[in-house]
Amino acid sequence: MLRRFSTNFAVFSVFVDGLLISLALYLSNFLRQFSNQFDFVRPMPLIPVPPELFVLFPLIWVLTLLVFSIYDGRKNIRVVDEFASLTLASFFSTIASAGVLYLSFREISRFQFALFAFTAYVMMLFWRVLVRTTIHRRFELKKEMRNVLILGAGTAGRRIGEQINHGAMYGLHVIGYLDDDPAKSSHPDVVGDLNITREIVRFSKIDDVVIALPGSAYQRLNQIVSELHDLPVRVWVIPDYFSLTLHKAGVFDFAGIPMLDLRAPALDEYQRMVKRTFDLILCLFTLPFTLPLIALISLLIKFDSPGPVIYKQKRVGENGRLFTMLKFRTMVSNADSLKHLVETRDENGNRIHKSRSDPRITKIGKFLRQTSLDELPQILNVLDGSMSLVGPRPEMPELVDEYQPWQRKRFAVPQGITGWWQVNGRSDRPMHLHTEDDLYYVQHYSIWLDLQIIARTIWVVLRKKGAF
């Protein structure tokens, strides 16, 4: 069995994909003829696929797959990452192939081309599922496993050990830990101190050494790496700087030099693109319905009390950037100067700035808050990219100044109109006192979670639960 991350396997994958694309093109002839028997398909005589396409189409598809890093196994360890990249690459390959047909062989029917694209995608997906299933089966049987030795039995070392033990997809097996701390030597999986690193690597056939030492022990790092230079082993280092990160860290190229980014985005580029596309499509789709409603609410606010229709307020967005958030004005025009009427502190000294009996709220404002219609203008914030439809609510700067460091992790993703906090309590629970809900969203983000939150938001708004 070819190793999944080897160059041989990548080359093998390129040839398999090329053959499958040619096979899908060949099968499209028969599938098109077979489909003639269906009423919804226009009958057409057999038009053989030109021989040139059996070279051109595999070339287009394989090059597109290369651009999307399909053959980089380390970027596609998780099945969801690989299949998402394959789907996106297949979509662009289909568009490119359709362009080639439009400019050359127009006699090929559109339905036959659709059959080809679908068949090619399904076959490439199927063989990858088959490979993953086979590899995982071999890992479960403890075949082709890579032996791992972890230097450091502290928090970082234990965390990577747990990740390895719970991630059968990686094909890794932790042999044990080495640590100089006598307090940790009582654990059965701590097989010795750092002085025996070279002996353990040689006699236990270690493939990978993970150095997860605390900052105080890093003077041993150069010594250990030097001892392992002549051995066929890979050495990985977990920097002690990860305790300084707000969400996660990553290694990126900066001015031609690989550097550790302690503020790496919580969403990768693919997730960010999908989320932004989702926001734009949904906003543009709802604009014809929301614009008349916005105009009506604007008139009601004007007739209800003097002052501007839109209330603008500085809020803290993604990565701590300040932006101007838009809302319908629900209070009297001088509400900011009357904060002292409602602002209090709880028993822990946390600031409470909202009250059900807030005297500053106007008549129409009370209705807008209960129905959350006061948030409608934030569609413009979503369109300009300063907010998302779903995410932690953007907070006021003065409240963020009182945050503890762990609470700031909620700004690792785009801030949203609605979020996990809103559908699990809304104003019944002040968001700056219940950051755990926002951190749950950051750690479990997916487009499916966004869809779930939007669906639950509609139900919560209709019930008028927790809003004031």
- Of 336, 314, 334, 332, which is closest to residue 323 (Cα–Cα)? 314
Q: Is 136 exposed, middle or buried (0-12, 13-18, 19+ CB in 10 A)?
A: middle
Please, what's the largest Cα pairwise distance for the chain? 84
Residue 198, domain CATH: 3.40.50.720
- pLDDT at position 371, please? 86
Same domain, 453 and 325: yes
Same domain, 11 and 49: yes
Q: Which two tokens stand for residue 279?
A: 């926001």
- pLDDT at position 244, please? 55
Q: Which helix (H) or strand (E) holds 264?
A: strand 257-264
What's the total number of domains in the chain?
3
- pLDDT at position 91, please? 93
Distance CA 333, CA 308 (A): 7
Same domain, 294 and 424: yes
User: Three-state SS for 440?
Assistant: helix
Distance CA 150, CA 207 (A): 11
Domain assignment present for 263 = no
Same domain, 82 and 161: no
* Residue that terminates a domain, selected from 88, 115, 140: 140
Mean pLDDT by 10 residues, the chain (468 residues): 60 92 88 67 69 89 89 74 87 90 77 88 93 75 76 85 71 86 84 89 88 76 83 81 58 63 70 89 91 93 90 90 92 74 62 67 87 92 93 88 80 90 63 69 86 87 64
Domain assignment present for 312 = yes
Same domain, 354 and 430: yes
Alpha carbon 310 to chain centroid, angstroms: 33
Same domain, 307 and 389: yes
Cβ neighbors of 451 (< 8 A, separation 6 or more) are none
Q: Are the C-beta atoms of residues 415 and 315 closer than 8 Å to each other?
A: yes
Domain assignment present for 436 = yes
Same domain, 110 and 183: no
- What pTM was computed for the model? 0.53
Domain assignment present for 304 = yes
- pLDDT at position 64, please? 92
* Residue that terminates a domain, selected from 244, 279, 298: 244
Q: Which domain holds residue 167?
A: 146-244
Same domain, 314 and 450: yes
Same domain, 58 and 181: no
Instruction: Return the bridge partners of 345, or none.
Output: 351
Domain assignment present for 251 = no
Same domain, 328 and 224: no
Same domain, 99 and 183: no
* Residue that terminates a domain, selected from 140, 157, 189: 140
Same domain, 431 and 390: yes
Q: Which two tokens stand for residue 354?
A: 């909202």
Domain assignment present for 252 = no
Domain assignment present for 2 = no
Distance CA 126, CA 114 (A): 18
Q: Which two tokens stand for residue 163?
A: 């990740």
Domain assignment present for 295 = yes
Q: What is the DSSP letter of 361?
A: B
- pLDDT at position 322, please? 92
